[in-house]
Amino acid sequence: MELRQVEHFLAVVEHGSFTAAARATRIVQSALSTSIRNLERELGGALFERTTRRVTLSEAGRAFLPGARRLLTEAGAAANAVRAVAGLHRGRVAIGMIQWLGPVDLPAELSRFHRDYPEIQISVLNAPVSVLLDRLRDGELDLAYLAADGALPDDTVGRTVFREDLLLITPPGHRLAGHPRVSWAELDGEPFVDFADGTAVTGIIRRLSTQLGLHRRVVGQVTQLDLQLDLVRNGLGVAIVQGTLARSTHGVAVAELADPSIRWEVSLVSRAPGPVNPAAVALLDHLVPAS
């Protein structure tokens, strides 16, 4: 049964004849008659009693009428709901973020987006990159800020937000404090305060340390940036953190890393080939306008 057939049935009921119904629905009478006959065949009974003078509902037609009206009303409501979402008059969008977004003031940006689209509900998840990727692939997130030192996974697509170096931070009295540049070899045997597993920075540091044959003594591992900075500031160990974070932190010494330096990239990412949710498309364009 097609919605068009139900519309034709209700038009005949409303206008009292096939001729008037065809005129109202703007189709030829033969096509409308065929549509009604096909509907009756599918339902298994005649919906109208036809005479040379008039068309009236049959008993089966009277039984079908309330449901037909309800079906058309619900279909109209469903279509309106889709149009409201597509027109950004309602809907929701879910975005994920890593703990440090550098120059991105996400709360301010989301507030501006809300002023433009007040009926869009926004949810935000703060989690490591590995978790954000899983939620993105499962469809729980529309967008996510992801950090990496290489290409994005093949099943994602993103727009670059910013790039920056990772820097070394040490306690003020540390033997390397005051050095503008520190080689990785000078960090061999140093106690490190690492960030949580599954985060981009931790993955980059571990991979590079293994490649260089560097022995790091991990004396602490945390899930909050403020705690990591406090532990370094109080002398528990050293850490490698994002450049903007390092340079904005008081009470620690900052040095560039050499041989090699590390540059990472933060992108706003969706599942490939791009977000389908209209609210997510609008938010992506708001946060990182397409070039």
* Residue ranges covered by each domain of the chain: 3-86, 91-161+266-287, 163-264
Phi-psi region of 128 (alpha: psi -120 to 50; beta: other; left: phi over 0): beta
Give the per-residue pLDDT at 129. Answer: 87
CA dist., res. 232 & res. 54, Å (int): 91
User: Could you tell me the pLDDT band of residue 16, with boundaries at 50, 70 and 90?
Assistant: confident
Q: 119: burial class by Cβ within 10 Å (0-12, 13-18, 19+)?
A: middle
Torsion on CA atoms 90, 94, 100, 106, rounded to nearest 10 = 0
Give the per-residue pLDDT at 80. Answer: 63
3-state secondary structure at position 142:
coil
CA dist., res. 37 & res. 96, Å (int): 53
Give the per-residue pLDDT at 266. Answer: 92
Architecture of the domain spanning 3-86: Orthogonal Bundle (1.10)
Give the per-residue pLDDT at 134. Answer: 92
Tell me the pLDDT tens digit for each residue of 158-216.
999 999 999 999 999 999 999 999 999 999 999 999 998 878 888 889 999 999 999 99
In this chain, the answer to whether the domains covering 91-161+266-287 and 163-264 adopt an identical fold is yes
CA dist., res. 282 & res. 129, Å (int): 23
Tell me the pLDDT tens digit for each residue of 94-106.
999 998 898 999 9
Task: Enter the pTM of the model.
Answer: 0.69
Could you give the angle at which helices 278-287 and 106-116 cross, rounded to 10 degrees?
130
3-state secondary structure at position 166:
strand
Is the per-residue pLDDT at 150 higher than 80?
A: no
Give the per-residue pLDDT at 130. Answer: 86
| CATH 3.40.50.720 applies to domain 91-161+266-287 | no
Average pLDDT (17-36) is 91
Reported as half-sphere exposure (CB side, CA atoms, 13 A), residue 201 has a value of 25
CA dist., res. 128 & res. 145, Å (int): 10
| CATH 3.40.190.290 applies to domain 163-264 | yes
Tell me the pLDDT tens digit for each residue of 229-283.
999 999 999 999 999 999 999 999 999 999 898 888 899 999 999 888 888 988 9
Give the per-residue pLDDT at 52. Answer: 65
> Strand pairing of 191-195 and 217-222?
parallel
